[in-house]
Amino acid sequence: MPLFKYRRLHRRKHVKSAPTGAETTSMQDELSRLSQTVAESANKKAFETEMKSFLSLFTRYLAEKASSKELVWKHIKSPSKDQIVPYHQITTETDPESLRKLAVLKVNGGLGTSMGMTGTKSALEVKNNMTFLDLTVKQIEHLNTTHNLDVPLILMTSFNTHEDTLRIIKKYADHELRITTFNQSRYPRIVRESMLPCPKTADDDKSAWYPPGHGDLYNALFQSGVLDQLLADGKEYLFVSNSDNLGAVVNQRILQHMIDSQAEFLMEVTDKTKADVKGGTLIDYDGSIRLLEIAQVPPEHTEDFKSVRKFKIFNTNNLWINLRALKRVMDNGGMELEIIINPKITEKGEHVIQLETAAGAAIKHFRNAHGINVPRSRFLPVKSCSDLLLIKSDIYSIENGQLVISPERMFSTTPVIKLGDHFKKIQQFQKRFKKIPTIIELDHLTVTGDVYFGRNVTLRGTVIVVANEGQRIDIPDGCVLENRLLSGNLNMIEL
């Protein structure tokens, strides 16, 4: 008898029966076989729980695929004024006692592979020899000591980062905060051709598995027991953000607005720029607020989605959640978040798919949920070495773990920085800068090709450095470039 009997697919109360096609049955059989490869009984129970959640997601994916269920574009509207509240309109009067009910969660499952990292991304040194995690700890420790609080830090790890994170956080043992970690789910990648799981055993290589996106936050928080523990500790509100967003600091005004407006869920959004056209956005869909990701958009409407005319804001993934409301939702059957299909090609050249969900999509499950249009300063992610150069520069200083724009900067906006492929990996980035240039007066920097920067270089205005193929440019120590185009033949042109 298969381990995953069909009747066990029903996700409590509100989920209707799922289709029983050949693909579902085959997946059930394979997951049952995988479960038999788990040796220890305690691990087996946890593994089976994860596989049931995966099977539920997979079955829903097949059902939606069979029914060609997709968004009806004409039903999508820009959010109404009451669905997105400008930050400057929310309360300025705050009660420090509200902070006693707060916990902070960082999504800490990323490896930073796009920047050439192999370990936990949050362990990358980003400023003054401090890592993402160092800065977060410093922020919350300052909050706790200033107001005599016990705001805990929760880290949601993935199977890629869990052991590394446990090792790293030992150095915070003497700090004024409690750190709790829990591991998000581990799902099997699906072979596109056969629609069967990649792994052959539960201990198969990490490349056969994937963490199913930050939308797994709610299920993992619930299944791990961390949600119940937070409620038992008197915590009522959870501030969630990505660990690489250095602008995501606790904001008392937003917390107070959440309490005053009785909102069960808040999403921080900010105005789009050309760099943000692919970011998820809030929409009005048949009168209810929803998150729309680019992966859900029909190909013929991709350009409409990227336009700032209809969709002026995007999701920062800074989320505020009422924990009692979350407990209610999970007890009543959980969430069916929109499925994001993420195709991948393995190192062996095999085409696979990953079924993922986004944390912000939960907004539709909560009462009085809405967006807050926050200043851009609350969205400072480090996704590339171009972002890292900006953070490491003299544009920013650190106050109690928080990045602050230097008062010497004449403009509130930060410069646009575009580093080419030679700077893509962190090792190359570090090798090509003897020291981070002074850019306090920089507006725009583009660097292409084999370029190296010496010490005490100053960049002002618009600077473009282009090394042609086969050529190398070394910017000498102490060099000042202001409104200059420097090309491969070492000609300088004033811009």
Q: Which two three-digit tokens encode residue 381?
A: 């992610």
List b or e across 446-457, with b for residues whose CB sees 16 or more CB atoms inside 10 angstroms.
Answer: bbbbbbebeeeb
List b or e across 49-66, with b for residues whose CB sees 16 or more CB atoms inside 10 angstroms.
Answer: ebbbbbbbbbbbbbbeee
Whether residue 30 sits in one domain with residue 77? no
Going by C-alpha positions, the residue among 307, 305, 300 that lies closest to residue 274 is 307
Whether residue 334 sits in one domain with residue 433? no
Give the Cβ contact number of residue 156 at 10 Å: 28
Is residue 15 a part of any domain in this protein?
A: yes
Is residue 1 a part of any domain in this protein?
A: no
Last residue of a domain, one of 34, 49, 66: 66
Tell how strand 492-494 and strand 480-486 pair up: antiparallel
Q: Tell me whether residue 351 is annotated as binding.
A: no
CA 8, CA 41: separation in Å to the nearest integer? 20
Q: Are 76 and 283 in contact (CB under 8 A)?
A: yes
Is residue 248 a part of any domain in this protein?
A: yes
CA 34, CA 15: separation in Å to the nearest integer? 25
Is residue 119 a part of any domain in this protein?
A: yes
pLDDT value, residue 490 = 58
Whether residue 363 sits in one domain with residue 236? yes
DSSP 36-100: TT--SHHHHHHHHHHHHHHHHHHHHHHHHHHTT----GGGEEPPPTTTEEEGGGS-----GGGGG
Last residue of a domain, one of 378, 407, 433: 378
CA 113, CA 160: separation in Å to the nearest integer? 11
Is residue 208 a part of any domain in this protein?
A: yes
Report, as residue numbers or ranges, the catalytic residues: 383
Q: Are 439 and 394 in contact (CB under 8 A)?
A: yes
Whether residue 257 sits in one domain with residue 198? yes
Q: Tell me whether residue 418 is annotated as binding.
A: no
Is residue 345 a part of any domain in this protein?
A: yes
Q: Tell me whether residue 184 is annotated as binding.
A: yes
Whether residue 306 sits in one domain with residue 266? yes
Whichever domain contains 91, its CATH number is: 3.90.550.10
Q: Tell me whether residue 276 is annotated as binding.
A: no
CA 432, CA 447: separation in Å to the nearest integer? 11
Last residue of a domain, one of 47, 66, 85: 66
Whether residue 123 sits in one domain with residue 229? yes
Whether residue 202 sits in one domain with residue 250? yes
Whether residue 61 sits in one domain with residue 91? no
Q: How many residues does the chain have?
A: 495
Is residue 202 a part of any domain in this protein?
A: yes
Per the structure, the count of domains in the chain is 3
- Give the SS3 label for residue 346: coil
**Residue 212 belongs to domain spanning:** 73-378
Whether residue 87 sits in one domain with residue 59? no
Whether residue 93 sits in one domain with residue 60? no
φ, ψ (nearest 5 deg) of residue 24: -65, -45
Strands (DSSP E) contained in 175-242 are 179-183, 187-188, 190-191, 209-210, 237-242
pLDDT value, residue 415 = 94
Q: Are 157 and 181 in contact (CB under 8 A)?
A: yes
Q: Tell me whether residue 170 is annotated as binding.
A: no
pLDDT value, residue 274 = 77
Whether residue 37 sits in one domain with residue 78? no
Is residue 477 a part of any domain in this protein?
A: yes
pLDDT value, residue 21 = 82
Q: Tell me whether residue 213 is annotated as binding.
A: yes
Can you give the pLDDT of all 495 residues of the chain as single tens digits?
344 433 333 333 333 444 458 899 999 999 999 999 998 777 888 899 999 999 999 999 999 888 876 778 888 888 888 899 999 999 899 998 999 999 999 999 998 888 999 889 999 999 999 999 999 999 999 999 999 999 999 999 999 999 999 999 999 999 889 999 999 999 999 999 999 999 999 999 999 999 999 999 999 999 999 999 999 999 999 999 999 999 999 999 999 999 999 999 999 999 988 778 778 899 988 888 999 988 888 888 888 888 877 788 999 999 999 999 999 999 999 999 999 999 999 888 999 999 999 999 999 999 999 999 999 999 999 999 999 999 999 999 999 999 999 999 988 889 999 999 999 999 999 999 999 999 999 999 999 999 999 999 999 999 999 999 889 999 999 999 999 999 876 566 666
Give the position of tokens 């016990």. Answer: 150
pLDDT value, residue 241 = 98
Contacts of 380 (CB under 8 A, 6+ apart): 245, 246, 247, 387, 391, 403
The single-letter code of the amino acid at 323 is L
pLDDT value, residue 11 = 35
Whether residue 182 sits in one domain with residue 59? no
Contacts of 1 (CB under 8 A, 6+ apart): none
CA 408, CA 114: separation in Å to the nearest integer? 33
